[in-house]
Amino acid sequence: MSKTVFMKLTITLIVLFLTPIGAHADIYKFTDEHGVTHFHNIPAIGDTRYKLFKREAKTTVTLRKGNISQFNSANRKRYSPIISTAARNYKVDESLLHAVIMAESGYNPLARSPKGAMGLMQLMPGTAKRYGVTNSQDPSQNIHGGTRYMRDLLKMFDNNLKLAVAAYNSGENAVIKYGNKIPPYNETINYVSKVLGFYQTLQSKKALAAQSTLALAP
């Protein structure tokens, strides 16, 4: 093998194995006339010599029923009017906002994560700045900023709830990086499960309340 071919092979293998294992992207390969094996993670790159080498592993999220009785009922009642207004103004499901707040802060407006996320919807400083939130511990500013962010994520991912919620946790760039799929981070997978579990519980309670109202109607 010539020195040039050996260098090409070495570089190719370095690129392949420096790709994060957690990416779980499909891998395509072909071997050229010099015996050098080339790899790529995009099938349609204009070269029909690439054949599927490794199939993507799927990220699965198992939803679990959310226990909503554990949260501060006084704070939930206190901030519900703000949540309702934000949901109506930005056309985001009110139950989804409650589910995010339950998972993020448990209705504690002074909550702060080790990474610096703050307030009811745990806005990172960059996100707060993007949406004009000057005080993340102010419930109204925080909820309106977080709701606008969720609205934009839902638009970005074609109203795919799982992807929008995943992006709220890990950032939209992480979801895009992994091919518009839930990133294979345990924190994000658990977060999506938790939020959607709360969301389903809230939706079920809302449906039962609506049925009860109809049953009592004359």
Instruction: Say whether pLDDT at 16 is over 50.
Output: no
Instruction: Say whether pLDDT at 20 is over 50.
Output: no
Q: Is 56 known to be catalytic? A: no
Which pLDDT belongs to residue 28? Answer: 58
Using only C-alpha atoms, the chain has a radius of gyration, in whole angstroms, of: 23
Instruction: Say whether pLDDT at 112 is over 60.
Output: yes
DSSP state of 186: H
When pLDDT is averaged across residues 167-189 and rounded to a whole number, the result is: 95
Q: What pTM does this model have?
A: 0.68
The pLDDT tens digits for 115-151 are 999 999 999 999 999 999 999 999 999 999 999 999 9
Which pLDDT belongs to residue 108? Answer: 95
User: What are the two backbone dihedrals, phi and then psi, of residue 157, each rounded to the nearest 5 degrees?
Assistant: -110, 30
Which pLDDT belongs to residue 8? Answer: 40
Instruction: Say whether pLDDT at 157 is over 80.
Output: yes
For 3-12, 53-62, 131-140, 198-207, which range has the lowest pLDDT when averaged over its residues? Answer: 3-12
Which pLDDT belongs to residue 207? Answer: 78
Check if the beta carbon of residue 28 is closer than 8 Å to that of residue 43.
yes
Closest to 95 measured CA to CA, from 117, 80, 107:
80
Dig out the tokens for 183 from the structure. 């990133």
Among 56, 104, 172, 187, which one carries the catalytic annotation?
104
Which pLDDT belongs to residue 46? Answer: 55
Which pLDDT belongs to residue 15? Answer: 36
The CA distances from residue 199 to 27, 128, 193, in Å, are 36, 24, 10
Which pLDDT belongs to residue 103? Answer: 94
Environment class of residue 115 by beta-carbon count within 10 Å: exposed (0-12), middle (13-18) or buried (19+)? exposed
Which pLDDT belongs to residue 70? Answer: 67
Distance of CA 31 to the CA centre of its chain: 37
